[in-house]
Amino acid sequence: MLLRGKYQGSSFFELLQVDYKHLLPALPADAQPAGAQVPHGTTVLAMKYQGGVLVAGDRLATAGHSVASRDVVKVFATDGNSLMAISGAAGPCIEMARILSVELEHYEKIEGEPLELDGKANKLSQMIRQNLPAAMQGLAVVPLFAGYDLRRKEGRLWKFDITGGRYEEMEFDATGSGGLFARESLKHDWRADLSKEEAVRAAIEALTAAADEDRATGGVDLERKIYPVVKLCSAEGVDEGSEQEIEQAYRNVLERRGRGGASQ
């Protein structure tokens, strides 16, 4: 079985396409739109801060008007220097994040050195383009990709559209159903010299604003102890924000809004 494969290159995604087709989703050309029946993930955001880049997402997945999951994770570390956040159909999105993380590790092992950050973003854009037929059936994958560029020594972030279009953002971005509200909030709070703590707080503020206005976005759920996922990527690698930090940031947000954190 070791010698049966035809594929000779360094990409895991292409390896699956050539030799392991059964591990990739097969979508018949005449498939009916599945849009509302499958769980969708909603608001995710990414922003630069002083030391690198921050990516955050709420935890809610919805199917039509129902809650599909309250604690889905939409932000993934795809390797030691990059993060991906997903919005769109949860199943294909999470799978794409998984394939991308195997892809990056696979390339590094086969070639003996990791891809550049640009190369990683470009590869993701090709994978999204491959998903276009499914996107037309309502199973869109619209991620944010961010990472710390070890050559330029700065955080960078990209957004994508369903055709694989790749757009580098200089400050911040948010996508998903609550993305508009999150962007509005970030427009107000974002500065180039945000410290890590300020960036976490701006992210929680933006997600809270999105959850306020958009019914498909989940805010902080103190009752169930479900917090947004916040991950940071700097020269030191990927750092996961702790629940205490996030809860504290949320209480600060509430306090600023004059509701008082403790009683919530």
Partner 1 sequence: MTMPFYVSPEQIMADKAEFARKGIARGKSIVALEYQDGVLLIAENATSLSKVGEIYDRIAFAGVGKFSEFDQLRKLGVRFADTKGYAYSREDVRGHALANAYSQAIGEVFTREMKPLEIEIIVAEVGDDRYQDHRDNTLYRVTFDGFISDHRRYCVIGGNVEDVESILKNDYQDGMSRSEAAKLGRKALDSGAERGSSLTEENLEVCILSRSRPGRKFERLSTDEVSSMLGA
Q: Give yes or no for residue 94 binding partner 1 (CB under 8 A).
A: no
The question of whether 42 is a catalytic residue gets the answer: yes
Helix axes 117-130, 90-111, angle to 10 degrees: 140
**At residue 32, what is the residue type?**
Q
Q: Give the list of residues 6+ apart from residue 92 with CB closer than 8 angstroms, or none.
A: 25, 131, 134, 139, 141
- Nearer of residues 110 and 132 to partner 1, judged by Cβ: 110
Query: Per-residue x/- marks for partner 1, 9-28, CB under 8 A?
Result: ---x--xx--xx--x-----
Q: Give yes or no for residue 99 binding partner 1 (CB under 8 A).
A: yes
> Distance (Å, rounded) from C-alpha 41 to C-alpha 59?
8
Q: Which of 64, 70, 109, 171 binds partner 1 (CB under 8 A)?
A: 109
The conformation of residue 23, written as its DSSP 8-state character, comes to G
Query: Per-residue x/- marks for partner 1, 207-246, CB under 8 A?
Result: ----------------------------------------
The alpha carbon dihedral of 12, 125, 94, 54 has a sign of positive
Alpha helices in the chain (DSSP H): 12-19, 90-111, 117-130, 132-136, 179-189, 196-213, 243-256
Q: How far is the CB of 66 from partner 1 (least distance, A)?
A: 30
Closest CA to 216 of 36, 42, 38, 35: 42
- Nearer of residues 11 and 126 to partner 1, judged by Cβ: 11
Half-sphere exposure of 30 (CA within 13 A, CB side): 0
Q: How far is the CB of 46 from partner 1 (least distance, A)?
A: 24
- Nearer of residues 7 and 245 to partner 1, judged by Cβ: 7
Q: Give yes or no for residue 76 binding partner 1 (CB under 8 A).
A: no
Q: Which of 17, 27, 71, 106 binds partner 1 (CB under 8 A)?
A: 106
- What is the contact surface with partner 1 in residues (CB under 8 A)? 1-3, 5, 7, 12, 15-16, 19-20, 23, 98-99, 102, 105-106, 109-110, 112
